[in-house]
Amino acid sequence: SCVRSYPDFPQPGIIFRDIFSVMQQPTVFADLMDVLIDYVKAKHKDIDAIIGLDSRGFLFGPIICLQLGIPFVPVRKKGKLPGDLMSTTYQLEYGSDVFEVQKDSFKPGDKIVIIDDLLATGGTMSASVDLVKKNGGVVEECICIIEIDDLKGRNKLKVPFKSFIQF
Ligand SMILES: O=P(O)(O)OC[C@H]1O[C@H](OP(=O)(O)OP(=O)(O)O)[C@H](O)[C@@H]1O
Ligand SMILES: Nc1ncnc2[nH]cnc12
């Protein structure tokens, strides 16, 4: 009930679930972060890094990383990251884009949790899993706060997936 919904945004037929509305309710935001941190601490005692997806995965990943004392690694949309990169193209509920990660941001064999605010078609998350694997990482789990159930995005993922709110 704390997630505000916007019908027909950014195009007709999409109900946009706005995670920023949660962050504007400080006690709800604090409760959400406690839930996320407790979950990752309990389930992933020896992960090497958390990867956050551009852009709303950047809101939550770093806070969890600080609590666990592990690195935060960004996966970014094309043209934003410097250095040697791996890249992949992905489909969205409303378009397509290219994601990139810095090759030296984690080591081959590193255990990774990927976080984003929301899973819709699963295109973004499954492309990120492929990108991490292509760069030698081992994806332990993908985590989203919100899951749009009827799009069945989780079926695209070949790794464990956890969501906390379903629409
Ligand atoms: O499961 P999918 O159908 O791939 O959609 C989910 C993705 O869409 C949204 O990001 P968006 O691409 O709108 O980018 P933003 O976070 O930069 O706004 C959301 O934050 C997820 O990353
Ligand atoms: N329905 C939705 N609400 C918010 N972000 C999204 N990204 C893809 N689909 C979305």
Pocket lining: 14 vs ligand 2, CB cutoff 6 Å: yes
* Number of Cβ within a 10 Å radius of residue 166: 10
Q: Is the pLDDT of residue 131 over 70?
A: yes
Q: What integer pLDDT is reported at residue 78 of this predicted model?
A: 96
Domain assignments of the chain as residue spans, ordered by start: 46-166
In the structure encoding, which two tokens stand for residue 76, read together?
């970014």
Q: State in Å: Cα 24 to ligand 1 middle.
A: 20
- Integer CA distances (angstroms), 15 to 8, 12, 18, 78, 94, in order: 6, 8, 9, 26, 12
Q: What integer pLDDT is reported at residue 116 of this predicted model?
A: 98
Pocket lining: 15 vs ligand 2, CB cutoff 6 Å: yes
Element (H, E) at 52: strand 49-53
- Residue range 4-53, pLDDT digits in tens: 999 999 999 999 999 999 999 999 999 999 999 999 999 999 999 999 99
The answer to whether the beta carbons of residues 61 and 36 sit under 8 Å apart is no
Active site residue ranges: 56, 93
Q: What integer pLDDT is reported at residue 93 of this predicted model?
A: 66
Element (H, E) at 130: helix 123-134
Contacts by 97-103, CB closer than 8 A, 24 or more apart = 99/53, 99/54, 99/75, 99/124, 99/127, 99/128, 99/131, 100/75, 100/76, 100/131, 101/51, 101/73, 101/74, 101/75, 101/76, 101/131, 101/132, 101/135, 102/73, 103/135
Q: What integer pLDDT is reported at residue 90 of this predicted model?
A: 85
- Residue range 55-103, pLDDT digits in tens: 999 999 999 999 999 999 999 999 999 999 999 998 776 678 899 999 9
Q: Does domain 46-166 have CATH number 2.40.50.1020?
A: no
Pocket lining: 85 vs ligand 2, CB cutoff 6 Å: no
Residue, of 151 and 95, whose pLDDT is higher = 151
